[in-house]
Homo-oligomer: A and B are copies of this chain.
Amino acid sequence: MTELAPFHAHSSKPMSEAEFEAAIRAVGAERYHDKHPFHKLLHGGKLNKGQVQAWALNRYCYQAAVPRKDAALMSRVHDRELRREWIHRIHDHDGLGEEPGGIERWLVLTDGLGLDRDYVISMEGALPATRFAVEAYVRFVVEQPLVVAVASSLTELFAPSIHRERIAGMLENYDFIDDKVMAYFKRRLTQAPRDSEFALSYVKKNAHTRAEQEACVAAVRFKCNTLWAQLDALNHAYVAPGIVPPGAFKPE
């Protein structure tokens, strides 16, 4: 039944917590970006180094935006306990004190791929579609009701399996990838489940009406779209048909 939930938008009866969670998880099963052909190529060792570079420098835009997204969400939160919980996400990405954080680990990956760090950080070579998708996510958490903004983070429910698959697939299939450059994904194996459990429980507790629940499910769909659109753009530019937009990164 739960996979039908999105079609009952005008039903007034709230879903049970189990139905609600199942509706959220059904979005991942249907459209999380692990289903995208580009990811299958990436993990299966079917890309050349230039294509992996293009993926890594575009994905940097997303990594770099996540702390701004989380700060934007926190700027709307009047509940101190929620802020005290959510701030860990910023620590995870920006680091704190001696801990360098996930963005730095991502730059270790792009270093390892032989990309110039300043070029990656400048985002000059990134695809415009990547940046539009990423900024759409930042705006979403500013503009949507708080519980819906929180729900948009729930793609993390689906992340650990893609990260496990990616670590194994990339280490096995590419001679330019080693353990050190995969540190980002190893770290996320423990961070993402902690965060997504909190967010899932928050959303269950704070989405009261059927309309709120459906808006939360739609938020997960929206977030999946922002991830999928990034891979569409990569695929179009660097795989098939392989038309690199003006100004974007051109592999050697």
Q: Is A29 an interface residue (CB 8 A)?
A: no
A67 contacts B71, C-beta separation under 8 Å = no
Q: Which residues of B contact A68 (CB under 8 A)?
A: 74-78
B76 contacts A96, C-beta separation under 8 Å = no
A96 contacts B90, C-beta separation under 8 Å = no
Residue from the list B64, B69, B83, B142 in contact with A94, Cβ < 8 A: B83
B96 contacts A84, C-beta separation under 8 Å = yes
How many protomers of this protein does the assembly include?
A: 2
Query: A interface, by DSSP: helix, strand, loop or mixed?
Result: helix
A96 contacts B103, C-beta separation under 8 Å = no
Which residue in chain B gives the minimum CB-CB distance to A76?
A: B68
Given contacts A71-B72, A72-B71, A72-B72, contact A64 B78 (CB under 8 A): yes
Q: Which residues of B contact A103 (CB under 8 A)?
A: 80
Give A101 to B87 CA distance when docked, in angstroms. 14
User: Chain A residues in contact with chain B, CB under 8 A?
Assistant: 64, 67-69, 71-78, 80, 83-84, 87, 90-91, 94-96, 101, 103, 138, 142
Q: List 22 A-B contacts (CB under 8 A).
A: A64-B78, A64-B80, A67-B74, A67-B83, A68-B74, A68-B75, A68-B76, A71-B71, A71-B72, A71-B77, A72-B72, A72-B75, A74-B74, A74-B90, A75-B138, A75-B142, A80-B94, A83-B90, A87-B90, A87-B91, A87-B94, A87-B96
